[in-house]
Amino acid sequence: MKRFAPVLALAVLGLSGCKEEPAAPPVNAAAAPPARSAAAGPDIARCDAQHVHHPNAPLSADPVAIPKAFRGIVKASALELALLTQAGTTICENHVGTYAVTDMAWLREDRLLGWAWEAYEATGYSIFDRAGEGTAIETGVRPVFSPGGTRLAAVEFPDFGALGGFAVWEVRAEGTVQIGGGTTQRQGVGEDVVFVEPAVFTDRIGDWSVVGWKGESCVTIAFDGQELSPEAFASGQSTFHAAESASWRIAPGPCP
């Protein structure tokens, strides 16, 4: 589910971005929506009945508009999104506070569905993998696929975004799973809660973006901004990378 901040970060957990449109995976991403499942559609009534209210969540708004082509896959209420898997079952995603869904599109034929969303003090990008039991992930911004189309990466910072860091996912037969990266973590409770960001983002103010892959095992990342460390003050675009051989940690310089 989404992590809205600063207010919604305490209430809704879950589901600055790239300046360029990221490359699509090497599949027919413009394929027509699939035929309706044998199921009547996603069960939004069940999702609403099972909705868990968080005391600090904003008041419910009107349901977001789902594009007509995808209404057999996604249904919305003021509280939830109901998402239909390839097996005909429904998974539910808390959607309180969301007032717009845009750019909904197939990212990988009829399996990976992506969309941007806007909510109270937050924006993000979600992907629904319809395989298996269904997986909904939050990538913050539209991710960039590896050349083989089996991996995807996204970076979004500062931490009031929906991702708050960097992550790499892998598309497997049973679903999409995160295999690396680091995001801002919430620690403590009540008045003692603090958010701890990955060290690479500390004292750097600007825009981060994934600009491409080197093969299937290294991601190229650009930082366009200022470094405000006590030792140095630099401005302009810098190149970073994150390699599988180094546990996907972001490091200075291009992919080796």
Residues 121-164: tens digit of each pLDDT: 788 999 999 999 999 999 999 999 999 999 999 999 875 667 88
Give 233's DSSP letter.
-
Domain hosting 72: range is: 8-252
Mean pLDDT score across all residues of the chain: 83
On whether residue 225 sits in a domain, the answer given is yes
Encode pLDDT of 85-119 as tens digits: 999 999 999 988 898 999 999 999 899 999 999 98
pLDDT at 202: 85
pTM for the model stands at 0.80
pLDDT at 240: 96
pLDDT at 241: 97
pLDDT above 90 as % of the chain: 58
CA max distance for the chain: 62
Q: Which residue has the higher pLDDT, 59 or 17?
A: 59
On whether residue 169 sits in a domain, the answer given is yes
pLDDT at 161: 66
Helix (H, G, I), strand (E, B), or coil: what is residue 44? helix
In the chain, the number of structural domains is: 1
pLDDT above 70 as % of the chain: 84
Stretch 213-239: mean pLDDT, rounded? 89
Stretch 39-47: mean pLDDT, rounded? 89
On whether residue 134 sits in a domain, the answer given is yes
Rg for the chain (alpha carbons), in Å? 19
Helix (H, G, I), strand (E, B), or coil: what is residue 22? coil
On whether residue 3 sits in a domain, the answer given is no
Work out the pLDDT band at 24, boundaries 50, 70, 90: low
Encode pLDDT of 162-211 as tens digits: 788 999 999 999 999 999 998 877 778 777 777 778 888 888 889 999 99
Stretch 22-33: mean pLDDT, rounded? 47
Stretch 24-50: mean pLDDT, rounded? 66
CA 46 to chain centre: 24
On whether residue 147 sits in a domain, the answer given is yes
Stretch 14-42: mean pLDDT, rounded? 48
On whether residue 2 sits in a domain, the answer given is no
Does the pLDDT of residue 218 top 60, yes or no?
yes
On whether residue 229 sits in a domain, the answer given is yes
On whether residue 181 sits in a domain, the answer given is yes
Residues 6 or more apart from 55 whose CB is under 8 A from it?
11
